[in-house]
Structure 1
């Protein structure tokens, strides 16, 4: 049985995890550059954990500038097996109100200015993203949220936009009415794609802060309004995360959905044609096979 190590990527308003025991901020070097910040390591309930503030402490990085590849590589390099992504989002559904959480299970990727894969010329791979989050991990996140008394919705489609500006009204209506998206944010892509390439189980917890701009009674999105909800949401997120070690346990069997074996049939470049320099960069991400 493998040892469980939970990696938490904290979004807007979640820049620390003060419940960890044996806390230590560590520097991790990756072939893809520096991650967003140092990574906080420790244990909780006897389970190893690692926390990475996605935007850096003090919120230094915009969504487009987050080093997504370095972040996922660094977590994998530390031994993380399960990634919990926490992020703020807007809602397209009346019932998904500010303060609610959504366990995301699908994505529409509208980002365009980010590196979206560890693979490419010299070593090509195609992983499946039909089900981009891990149902097992998502179910644990759902149970933890309910146990913490959080109003949580099981399942939802997350529209990932480039940002940093919020949506136009026309875009908001399109995503809500024609595309069937449930929430909108700026950071879960390409994060989820990279986690799958790195063979990490990934669950997305979207914390609703607003109704985007489609809701006539709420008007345009304002940062000042979002900040009011963020503090409450961050406290809820910590309560949720604190319950995960007991649910996941200190040891884990292979993922029943195959997240930790995503590369088994994904590599398409013949071994003799693979670029050694590219393979060297993949030592953590794809070391199991390469």
Structure 2
């Protein structure tokens, strides 16, 4: 595995490894890797010949009062996980490598970035779209892998690749969970033992509504109410919504197309997001 810090070195390494008919896979991350990231890497290895992982805590997707300074970091641990999972190139640039002096061009996503997390984190998805667009231009992958837990992020990136004519296939990998259902997240390390137990309310609410959906319930209000019953254990519920999986607009009731039940909530000072897809036959 090559660990690379500069764009110039990265481009040279990509040229050397991407021989004709070799498919390039890419998993962009902010580090503090866990089994969810491992799933992205393994999917990339299964489908691609050359595999790149980036680790970059992107400052422009954090708001003024968010956790940029305390976001968990452990580069040596991350590097070892990448080595162990067969990553070919690990790209770990510094901030000035991505945003050099004088940088002033940003990608501004459209309507799909406005609801859900976009309504509570102004500018967040603009920061995501900008850094991902830059990383795509640097890595030049054929396929990029993202996790379903960040469903809206996947939707924003997918829309960007279509609108900007980027020849990259976006693949979403199902959310990886702990045995008790908690969705894996780098921010889970913020949770105390007691907070972690209360955090289980998030996935339990989603699972309870999904069970009713599977039993035939299609009324949006009732499905949301079932999920909300479990969310009394959180400290602050930011949103709980059922939206269309395509455009993230509120789902019609009764459900007539595949929908996404999604939630953002605080347990202590930790913001948790999670979702579950409710598929209807096509």
The alignment's TM-score, normalised by the length of structure 1, stands at 0.26
Higher relative contact order by CA 8 Å / sep ≥ 6: 1 or 2?
A: 1
Greater helix share, 1 or 2? 2
Greater C-alpha radius of gyration: 2
The alignment's TM-score, normalised by the length of structure 2, stands at 0.27
